[in-house]
A and B are shown apart, each in its own frame.
Chain A
Amino acid sequence: MKLKTLRRWNNAVHRDIGYLAIGLTIIYALSGIILNHFKSGDFVHPDYGKKYENFQVSLPSDGIINKAYALNILNQVGEEDHFKSYVTGNGYLQIFFEKGSVYVDLSNGNAQLEKKSPRYLLKEFNLLHYNNIKSWFTWFSDVYAVALILLAITGLFILRGKNGILGRGAWLTAAGIIIPAIILLIYA
């Protein structure tokens, strides 16, 4: 096959796969940023933003933990209308409301309010990134991964001359390989 024809095919494949892959690439990239920071401890939860507030509650004078006591605590944080349930444990009480919970240490009255806000769209993106769907999506994302490899390889040959793979492209490609290799050598 002539070089000219090969180049045309290369560019056409790169163009069309590029268009097809843009949606999933943005999904995986945005979700990847969130999951990256979640794994490094910057976020408590990848799907929900969470805010915490410590406060003090009075322990029940009669020592009885019940719904009324739980509602009284939620009233302190303005969430009594959003009560869901409560669970008691060994020395603690956890009260759930629509968008969070309150954890109460029953030995000293220390309480922690957790309020969560869904990261809409991002939590759906995370679902794909974690491959929660499994079954057919595993193969679908394998096809996407192969498409990305094709995108990367065809991208090497788009340009010619001093900006192509034999010019500056060679240096940038080498840097793109050497940097992760050094990181792996250090940490793996």
Chain B
Amino acid sequence: MTKHLIPFLFIVLIFTFSCNVNNNNTANETADTALLLVATFDTAAPYYVEKPVWIEGTVTHTCKHGGKRMFIADGNDSIMVEITTGPDIVKFDDGLAGSRVHILGTVKEERIDDKYLNEWEAEILKPEESHETGLHSGAKGHEDQPNDSKLEQIKSLREQLKSSGKDHLSFFSVEAISFQEIPPVNTDINVKNK
């Protein structure tokens, strides 16, 4: 009886693990963890690289290639912050789109230099492009950008790099340690349609 049960239990375990992976770990709150705002993330992030921070916003987009990244905004998309999955987060489900989330994560800096841009360009020109390379803007349709568009983006980054006078450009994101959905805040501010 036991030798028949063991393989059956093994298969049940596979299904159990696949369906019950915890996507919403409880955050370990520390008193001295800074709270960053989406609106000022770009200016504040350089001071928190590799440090834990809190950040909150509305999910505007989740990556459809495995759910490994999402973008949050706060009211409008003038600034969108990229959030990537950390080791303890399985994925960001597409069902999160439109939800307000409270995230504990580590600020990460991605340095874009000539070497990075060359490698990204080479990847784009391959028949099977990896979705792990390159910058993700979070804008609508960015995952379905044609190659011309991506090459234009690279060209623009090269120009920015040249005019910056530095050997690299810095882009910041947050690698999530944990997150939770929270009730939406009343962001009903009247926005004038230009």
Q: Does B7 contact A (CB under 8 A)?
A: yes
Nearest-neighbour CB distance to chain A for B121, whole angstroms, equals 21
CA–CA, A187 to B192, complex, Å? 52
B47 within 8 A of A: no
Interface size on A, residues (CB 8 A): 48
Question: Are the C-beta atoms of B18 and A20 separated by less than 8 Å?
Answer: no
- A20 in contact with B10 given A85-B184, A87-B76, A130-B66 (CB within 8 Å): yes
- In the bound assembly, the distance between CA atoms of A73 and B67 in angstroms comes to 29
Task: Find A47's partner among B14, B76, B93, B99 (CB 8 Å cutoff).
Answer: B93
Instruction: Determine whether the beta carbon of A127 is less than 8 Å from that of B90.
Output: yes
Residue of chain A at shortest CB distance from B73: A87
Nearest CB on B from A151, distance (A): 14
Among residues of B, the one whose C-beta sits closest to the C-beta of A82 is: B98
Cα distance, A60 to B190, chains bound together (Å): 11
The distance in angstroms between the C-alpha atoms of A116 and B187, with both chains bound, is 25
Residues in B64-96 with C-beta less than 8 Å from chain A: 64-68, 73, 75-78, 85, 87, 90-91, 93-95
Checking A19, A47, A88 against B94 with a beta-carbon cut-off of 8 angstroms, the contacting residue is: A47
- A87 x B75 contact (CB < 8 A): yes
User: B94, A127: Cβ atoms under 8 Å?
Assistant: no
Which residues of A1-44 are within 8 A (CB) of B? 16, 19-20, 22-24, 27, 38, 44
Please, how many angstroms separate the alpha-carbon atoms of A85 and B58 in the complex? 8
B70 smallest CB distance to A (angstroms): 13
Interface segment out of the listed A94-102, A154-162, A165-173 = A94-102
Asked whether B152 is an interface residue with its Cβ less than 8 Å from the other chain, the reply is no
A163 within 8 A of partner (CB): no
Interface residues of A in 124-165 (CB under 8 A from B): 124-125, 127-128, 130, 132-135, 137
* B residues less than 8 Å from A64 (CB atoms): 190-193
Please judge, given known A-B contacts A59-B193, A88-B77, A89-B76, whether A124 and B19 are in contact too, CB under 8 Å: yes
Is A65 part of the contact surface with B, judged by Cβ < 8 Å? yes
Cross-chain contact A127 with B91 (CB below 8 angstroms): yes
Q: Which chain A positions have C-beta within 8 A of B68? A: 132
CA distance A46 to B191 in the complex (A): 35
Query: Are the C-beta atoms of B90 and A132 separated by less than 8 Å?
Result: yes
Say whether B188 faces chain A, with CB atoms less than 8 Å apart: yes
Tell whether A88 pairs with B98 under 8 Å between CB atoms, given A124-B18, A127-B91.
no
- Chain B positions within 8 Å of A19 at CB level: 7
Cβ of A63 and Cβ of B98 under 8 Å apart?
no
Say whether A51 faces chain B, with CB atoms less than 8 Å apart. no
Is A45 in contact with B64, judged by CB distance below 8 angstroms?
yes
Give min CB distance, B190 to chain A, whole Å: 5
Determine whether the beta carbon of B76 is less than 8 Å from that of A133.
no
Bound Cα distance from A21 to B102, whole angstroms: 40
B146: interface (CB < 8 Å): no
- Give the contacting residue for A96; candidates B21, B78, B97, B188; CB below 8 A: B97
A106 within 8 A of B: yes
Q: Is the CB of A85 within 8 A of B91?
A: no
CA distance A118 to B184 in the complex (A): 23
- Bound form: Cα–Cα A65–B192 in Å: 6
Q: List 11 A-B contacts (CB under 8 A).
A: A23-B10, A27-B18, A44-B64, A47-B94, A63-B192, A63-B193, A84-B184, A89-B77, A94-B60, A96-B97, A132-B66
